[in-house]
Homo-oligomer: A and B are copies of this chain.
Amino acid sequence: MQSYTEENYLKTIYHLAEKTINVQTNAIAEQMQTKPASVTDMIKKLADKGLIDYIKYQGVTLTETGKNTAIDIVRKHRLWEVFLVDKLNFKWDEVHDVAEELEHIKSIELIERLDEFLGFPKADPHGDPIPDKNGRFAKTQFIKLIELKVGDSGTITGVSQHSSAFLKHLEKLGLTLGKQIQVSDVTDFDGSVEIQVSDKQVNISREVAKHILISSNGKN
């Protein structure tokens, strides 16, 4: 059994490990809003418990057990987000902090029943895949909108930025999950992208385009 804090460390390490093989102390500290010295203390503890592999000065990687634990927390987080949006009518930019608390509720029965109640959803309100109860989930094939060429089209199926400001901005532009888009122009000057959505033309900055994930319908 892990403490609330240990669970948060594991989850953070899991997410950081999606980008780098060895997760570094400073990266964890930044993500957890804490100091590197505190991280060192904690990773020693997690290593002792067999949840991570740790070589001094070399960063950490999750063990099989650690990874499973982390995936279970991610599963809970995403299911709760679906609950908040689908059942309690929260907006997609309002759910993160509450789910951050709910994900630590321990009952396995609760999560299985919640999953069933929600109709076994495959993705959360931001398009992130929800692991099943065995920790398995489809490795979704996303392309960043920024990588599309003029003329390419596809469906918005995710975002790689969960900040409220970003999500509200997308909402205002009508760029929500499931929307069909086509790239009509890319501006040389600032790299901003002109896209067609629901019969409207919208212009989005390069920065925004980087964080919109598209499931491609192929080129044309």
Contacts and interface: CB of A to CB of B under 8 A. Distances in A.
A101 to B, nearest CB: 5
A97 B97 CA distance: 23
10 contacts: A84-B110, A87-B117, A88-B110, A90-B109, A90-B113, A94-B109, A98-B107, A101-B105, A101-B106, A102-B102
A117 B105 contact: no
Interface in A44-68: none
Copies in the complex: 2
Interface residues of A, number: 18
Interface of A is mostly: helix
Interface string A67-110: 00000000000000000100111100010011001100111011
Nearest to A114: B88
A113 B84 CA distance: 9
Nearest to A112: B88
Contacts of A90: 109, 113
**Max chain B CB contacts within 10 Å: which of A90, A107, A117?**
A107
A107 B90 CA distance: 12
B117 A88 contact: yes
Contacts of A110: 84, 88, 98
A101 B103 CA distance: 11
Contacts of A106: 101
A109 B113 CA distance: 23
